[in-house]
């Protein structure tokens, strides 16, 4: 490799602390109404003031996590608390049903149709309760988690447009996110709930959505765990699958199961190679497992989160198993990511490239991109690379 | 221009009769269960058997219309009737609430959340009733039309995810489609309903969604007809706006209002120029009226329907007003469309190109592309060009 682990660690650390975090601290905090702006231009100018609960929760989480794990910086804690207060006051309907989006002032715009508004709120208040010791935040996280579990079999609720009984599919996203969320709020769960949730999610991800006969991870299967030869049953999201594998590796570490870690590494490597665009480089956003045209018109685009999550997975795979092939692919994805997504002129990274690797949308934040994947990946890679460097 | 009107007319006629219609007649008819396959590969092979009610209705309409207006071909009538029978039996819930999609066999998959499943079913049974004289088909069209009118203020019904009272927006699509649908089922409406619907739609399209202060047509405005500086309020869909202008021109002819036709022509020309991609050619799919990043990741793609609808609008504008600028732009769009969307090797045309004009998805039909825009445009352009040629 071109750089030593300690140089790489320093690169990721510097990018996090001196480029990415300042971008969000300087541009995203709404000092009048609280919460965060996330629709930010390339330079960091606010171009829309709507507040999306996914991204509000994720930014609360990010600054709480950094305060808890990296440094007790007052600026980070204040940034997290003001966002948490905004969410506590405006983010839900009074019963911890989390809206999808709010006006700048906090008035609901879109109803609580999306289960991931709940998961990211839960993650936010879990970390914020650790950062502050505030029991109210812990209660919000716990109550929200209970609602998520109660909705696990019909996460869309009354907004579900599927006709009952014809084609009952289940999605990879929720068990995948719960792999991560269960460890995030471990301190709030009783032992049985934690154990049951974890075992159930590992089973769903590794035995149901991962299909050994195909060697790939699916996005949707039937509720009785069968393949579905439909658009939903054929679609693949390599970035999703790869991201899930570092959640599984974290669980493998927590549960001390080397076999699980190795299986996750093998699946991740398979999905990286499957998703890699031989022609232009980068990992495709969506694919069809039978090679048919996917429904998603954006299928060939290169998205920031896919690539930075892949970096986390590959470097963890190397750290935990010493796998050279993982390190080789880490270097390939590192090269692609830093030369294509990093903005040489302003803070934060680009999010959306076309297939050719050119910037498709110059925004640094929007409806789906906020203060989350880039800083989380920089933090995770930095710490993992540091570990690798110390082991040498 | 390079070709005379009579040569152009022959080109469009030949493409319709000898390339596009045979593709659908040969590949889309499900002779076992009835209805149509629409998910067809470049070569016409079925890659998915789901049946989308938009596209079922549109194909019934297409073959009925050709039978009614072009030639009394038994093959066309049979093709339309078998699709109409499938829709009559399986397309709705018994009360003419039209599902969004069905399995191959006709079992509902997705609930009747989408008002355009209703509009295209209505259009289908309107033409089919003319083709067959079957009163049952006429009744289905009439009942469906009544439901559409009753849902005009809340077309999404219980699937509306907008929180009531915060940001009430209305969409261009429905009044736009009603401009066309009202003439389609004119024979089934009483004079007052027809007149009222038409006047209301013309008003919405030309006085509400068209904004003289901006010179453009918006996709969404507030319910009290104001601009909204939000993602929804800023988004433009040039193809949509341009398509609506030929619906308006048809109404202008029907009502004998030359001023309305001229206004529609001017708006169309403005939107064609606004949407034209100076770098690669073609018309963008989505834009933001303030130049901010749009939410739609597919914003820069070049879609078949945008371009073929633009051809109809521009040639009608020339036919009806003699406007040289419309003819000049017709030639530009004609050139782009025929060199980029027509498949030199197989029937039907490509649907989805990337910004550069390369084929993004090689399918000939899918969830949203069926037997509709290409043959309708070829027919409309052929007949209009023929008229221009005879006038010369």
Residues A50-105: tens digit of each pLDDT: 999 999 999 999 999 999 999 999 999 999 999 999 999 999 999 999 999 999 99
**pLDDT for position B2:** 59
Collapsing DSSP to helix, strand or coil, A50 comes out as coil
Distance of alpha carbon B179 from alpha carbon A211, whole angstroms: 50
- A1 pLDDT above the threshold of 70: no
Distance of alpha carbon B175 from alpha carbon B198, whole angstroms: 9
Closest by alpha carbon to B104, among B34, B155, B167, B195? B34
Q: Say if the Cβ atoms of A162 and B41 lie within 8 Å.
A: no
Residue A167 near residue B110 (C-beta atoms within 8 A): no
| pLDDT tens-digit series, residues B299-338 | 999 999 999 999 999 999 999 999 999 999 999 999 999 9
- What DSSP line would sit under A108-133, residue for residue? EEE-S--HHHHHHHHHHHHHHHHHH-
Closest by alpha carbon to B60, among B74, B46, B78, B73? B78
| pLDDT tens-digit series, residues A153-163 | 999 999 999 99
ipTM of the predicted structure? 0.96
Mutate to test the interface with B, among A43, A46, A48, A100 (most CBs of B within 10 A): A48
Chain A contact set for B159 (CB, 8 A): 159, 161
Q: How far is CA A92 from CA A84, A115, A117, A118, in A?
A: 12, 12, 10, 9
Q: Does A367 touch chain B (CB under 8 A)?
A: yes
Residue B97 near residue B106 (C-beta atoms within 8 A): no
**pLDDT for position A45:** 98
The two tokens of residue B389 are: 């040629």
**Residue indicated by tokens 């460890």:** A183
Mutate to test the interface with A, among B90, B102, B112, B293 (most CBs of A within 10 A): B293
Q: Does B169 touch chain A (CB under 8 A)?
A: no
Which of B 171-210 lie inside 8 A of A, CB atoms? none
Q: Say if the Cβ atoms of A50 and B231 lie within 8 Å.
A: yes
**pLDDT for position B85:** 98
What lies within 8 Å, CB to CB, of A274 at 6+ separation is A216, A236, A238, A287
Distance of alpha carbon B392 from alpha carbon B387, whole angstroms: 9
| pLDDT tens-digit series, residues A103-145 | 999 999 999 999 999 999 999 999 999 999 999 999 999 999 9
Residue of A nearest to B103 (CA): A166
Confidence category of residue A392, pLDDT binned at 50, 70, 90: confident
Residue B112 near residue B57 (C-beta atoms within 8 A): no
The two tokens of residue A280 are: 């232009």
Q: Say if the Cβ atoms of A363 and B166 lie within 8 Å.
A: no
**pLDDT for position A2:** 59
In this structure, what are the phi and psi dihedrals at residue B163, rounded to the nearest 5 degrees?
-70, 125
**pLDDT for position B3:** 82
Chain B contact set for A108 (CB, 8 A): 163, 166
Distance of alpha carbon A163 from alpha carbon B156, whole angstroms: 16
Distance from CA of A185 to the nearest CA of B (A): 29
- The whole-number mean pLDDT for each consecutive block of 10 residues of chain B, a chain of 392 residues, reads 87 98 98 98 98 98 98 98 98 98 98 97 98 98 97 92 94 96 96 96 98 96 97 98 98 98 98 98 98 98 98 98 98 98 98 98 98 98 96 80
Distance of alpha carbon B379 from alpha carbon B64, whole angstroms: 13
Chain B contact set for A162 (CB, 8 A): 109-111
Residue of A nearest to B293 (CA): A361
């Amino acid at each position: 490799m071109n750089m030593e682990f300690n140089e790489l660690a320093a690169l990721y650390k510097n990018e996090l602390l001196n480029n990415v975090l300042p971008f969000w601290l300087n541009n995203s905090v709404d000092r009048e109404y609280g919460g965060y702006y996330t629709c930010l231009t390339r330079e960091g100018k606010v171009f829309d003031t709507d507040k999306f609960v996914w991204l509000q929760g994720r930014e609360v989480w990010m600054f709480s996590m950094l305060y808890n794990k990296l440094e007790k910086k007052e600026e980070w804690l204040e940034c997290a608390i003001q966002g948490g207060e905004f969410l506590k006051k405006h983010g839900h309907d009074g019963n911890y049903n989390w809206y999808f989006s709010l006006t700048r002032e906090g008035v609901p715009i879109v109803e609580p149709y999306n289960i991931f508004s709940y998961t990211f709120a839960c993650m936010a208040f879990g970390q914020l309760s650790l950062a502050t010791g505030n029991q109210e935040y812990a209660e919000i996280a716990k109550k929200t988690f209970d609602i998520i579990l109660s909705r696990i079999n019909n996460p869309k609720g009354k907004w579900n447009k599927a006709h009952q009984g014809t084609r009952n599919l289940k999605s990879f996203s929720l068990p995948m996110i719960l792999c991560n969320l269960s460890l995030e709020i471990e301190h709030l769960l009783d032992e049985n709930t934690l154990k049951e949730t974890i075992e159930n999610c590992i089973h769903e991800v590794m035995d149901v959505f991962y299909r050994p006969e195909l060697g790939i991870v699916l996005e949707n299967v039937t509720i009785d765990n069968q393949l579905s030869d439909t658009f939903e049953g054929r679609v693949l999201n390599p970035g999703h699958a790869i991201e899930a594998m570092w959640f599984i590796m974290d669980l493998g570490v927590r549960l001390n199961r080397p076999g699980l870690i190795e299986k996750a590494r093998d699946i991740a490597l398979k999905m990286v190679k499957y998703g890699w665009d031989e022609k232009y480089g980068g990992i495709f956003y969506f694919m069809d497992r039978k090679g048919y045209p996917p429904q998603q018109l954006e299928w060939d685009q290169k998205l920031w989160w896919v690539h930075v999550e892949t970096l986390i997975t590959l470097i963890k795979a190397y750290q935990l198993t010493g796998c050279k092939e993982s390190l080789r692919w880490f270097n390939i994805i590192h090269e692609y990511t830093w030369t294509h997504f990093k903005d040489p002129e302003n803070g934060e990274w680009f999010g959306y490239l076309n297939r050719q690797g050119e910037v498709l949308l110059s925004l640094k934040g929007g409806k789906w991109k906020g203060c989350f994947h880039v800083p989380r990946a920089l933090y995770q890679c930095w710490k993992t690379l540091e570990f690798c460097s110390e082991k040498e």
